[in-house]
Each structure stands twice: as C-alpha cells, then as structure tokens.
C-alpha cells in the first residue's frame, strides 16, 4: 500500500461507485434466478450470494452518496460496473463461470484492501469472508460441471469461451483503488487457470478484452442487455418521484 486516499474525496467516491456498482449489478442478475434454480439448494445459495453482494453494494454506494438515488436514478452511462457482471445469466454454467471469474477477483482485491488502512479496509475485511464462500461455491460447481457429463462439460467450455473476453477489464487500474492490478492479475490467472484445468476445461487463448477499449464499463460504456436490466430495476422507483419506501 502506498498513500491512502481520504474518505469523501473524489477518488474514494469514484472507487466506491466502481466497486459498489459491480456488487449491485451482479446481485441483481443473481436475483433473477429466484424460482428458476436447478436444485433447491441452489435457490438458497444463489440468493445468499446475491444478498451478500447487495449488502456490499449498499455500504459502498453509501460511501459515494445516497444508495437509492445512485442505484435508481442514474442513467446507464453513469454506471461504473464491469461489463462482466452485467452479462445476462444464460444457463447455469454461464452463471457459474461469471461468478467464478468475478469472485476470484473480488477475493484477491478485498484481501489486499483489508490488509491496508484505507477507507475500504473495514468493508473489505467483512467482504473478503463472504467472497471466500462465493469463490468456493463457484469453484466446486466448475469442477462438477466441467468434469461431469459431456453436456455439462460442453456448456461450461462455451461459457468460459464467451466470458473470457470480459475478464481483462477487472485488472484495469481504478481511480481510488490503491492496489497493484498486475499483481492481482497474476494471482487471478494462476488460480482460475488451475481450477479450469482441474475441471478438464481449456483456458482460452483469445483476447481478454473485447473489441471495446479496455475499461469500457468503468467509463460507463456498457453492453446492450444492461439498459434493459436497468429499465426493470429502476421503473418503480422512478414512477414515484420523491416517495419513501
């Protein structure tokens, strides 16, 4: 850790928005699974992870302003989340791979932030424990599905290939996040590669950013499904301006 930015500064607000939006958006996607999961235990697990992420989002967005105003009254171009977390759920394999990629990153990031003394240290100390469970859950399912049946293997490989292009963005520097991204990236590649290998899946050799400039989500450049997701999420709140809920 080098110099830590003080709470309330523009840098902290920027970082809180980026990390808070990641958690908010992925939580929302996981919430869409309610009632659709392949087994009852996964209804519980997916809702549980969604709740943890929503809890993180509420703390982070509150560091940047009013949590509800930020969640419900910003336009798409003002959101700072990674493109990875806004990807539609797809099938269960797609959801698990998205979670694997993201939770492994979150675990490393919050581990670093928790060990420092910056404004995110208190949140990170709690979040890293939650994220350890999320990562474990995703890794176990990756192993089961990758090394399960031919069909589950094929679905997992498709998901890995489809989502790989969104993983590079996680290791772009974020203003106000005082962590060395290249160190995170090395650790992430090692851990993720190892899990995919054990799951008999192939690590893609394609690019880890899409045709977009790296960091697109962080700059408010999102993918097409995101606007529709926000429309659903924000509709009721926006229909009653100024109301309390």
Partner 1 sequence: MATAAARDTAGSRAYGVTAGADDTAGHQHAFDAAVAADERIEPRDWMPDAYRATLVRQIAQHAHSEIIGMQPEANWITRAPSLRRKAILMAKVQDEAGHGLYLYSAAETLGTSREELLDKLHSGRQKYSSIFNYPTLTWADVGAIGWLVDGAAITNQVPLCRCSYGPYARAMVRICKEESFHQRQGYELLLALSKGTPEQHAMAQDAVDRWWWPSLMMFGPPDDESQHSAQSMAWKIKRHSNDELRQRFVDICVPQAASLGLTLPDPDLKWNEERGHHDFGAIDWAEFWDVLKGNGPCNEQRLTRRRRAHEEGAWVREAAAAHAAKHSNGETGATRA
Select from 139, 113, 130, 137 the least CA-distant residue to 18.
113
196 burial (CB, 10 Å; 0-12 / 13-18 / 19+) is buried
Site for partner 1 in 186-245 (CB under 8 A): 195, 232-233, 235-237, 240, 243-245
Q: Which of 109, 114, 145, 201 binds partner 1 (CB under 8 A)?
A: 145
Residues near partner 1 (CB under 8 A), total: 56
CA distance 21 to 53: 10
Q: Which is nearer to partner 1, 133 or 212 (CB)?
A: 133
DSSP state letters, 54-70: HHHHHHHHHHHS-HHHH
Return the structure tokens found at 14. Answer: 């920027």
CA distance 64 to 15: 9
Q: Which is nearer to partner 1, 27 or 167 (CB)?
A: 27
Site string for partner 1, 106-125 (x = CB under 8 A): -x------------------
Site for partner 1 in 59-98 (CB under 8 A): 61, 67-68, 71-72, 91-92
Residue 51 burial (CB count, 10 A):
14
CA distance 185 to 187: 5
Site for partner 1 in 22-61 (CB under 8 A): 24, 28, 31-32, 34-44, 47-48, 50-51, 54-55, 57-58, 61
CA distance 15 to 30: 23
Q: How far is the CB of 140 from partner 1 (least distance, A)?
A: 6
CA distance 18 to 60: 9
Q: Which of 74, 89, 126, 147 binds partner 1 (CB under 8 A)?
A: 147
Q: Contact at 8 Å (CB) between 111 and 120?
A: no
Segment near partner 1 (CB under 8 A); pick from 3-11, 79-87, 133-141, 169-177: 133-141
Q: How far is the CB of 229 from partner 1 (least distance, A)?
A: 8
Binding residues for partner 1, rule: CB under 8 A, are 24, 28, 31-32, 34-44, 47-48, 50-51, 54-55, 57-58, 61, 67-68, 71-72, 91-92, 107, 132-133, 135-136, 139-140, 143-145, 147-149, 151-152, 155, 195, 232-233, 235-237, 240, 243-245
């Amino acid at each position: 850790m080098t110099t830590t930015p003080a709470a309330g500064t523009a840098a902290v607000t920027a970082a809180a928005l980026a990390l808070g939006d990641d958690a908010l958006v992925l939580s929302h996607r996981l919430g869409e699974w309610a009632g659709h999961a392949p087994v009852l235990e996964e209804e519980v697990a997916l809702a549980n992870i969604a709740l943890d992420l929503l809890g993180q989002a509420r703390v982070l967005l509150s560091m940047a302003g009013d949590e509800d105003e930020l969640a419900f009254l910003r336009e798409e171009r003002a959101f700072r989340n990674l493109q990875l977390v806004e990807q539609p759920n797809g099938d269960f394999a797609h959801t698990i791979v998205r979670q694997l990629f993201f939770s492994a990153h979150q675990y490393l990031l919050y581990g670093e932030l928790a060990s420092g003394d910056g404004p995110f240290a208190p949140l990170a100390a709690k979040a890293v424990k939650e994220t350890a469970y999320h990562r474990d859950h995703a890794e176990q399912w990756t192993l089961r599905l990758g090394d399960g049946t031919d069909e589950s293997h094929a679905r997992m490989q498709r998901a890995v290939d489809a989502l790989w292009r969104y993983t590079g963005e996680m290791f772009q520097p974020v203003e106000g996040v005082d962590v060395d991204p290249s160190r995170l990236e090395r650790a992430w590649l090692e851990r993720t590669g190892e899990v995919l290998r054990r799951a008999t899946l192939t690590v893609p050799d394609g690019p880890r950013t899409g045709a977009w400039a790296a960091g697109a989500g962080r700059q408010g450049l999102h993918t097409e499904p995101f606007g529709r997701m926000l429309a659903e999420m924000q509709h009721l709140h926006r229909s009653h301006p100024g109301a309390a809920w």
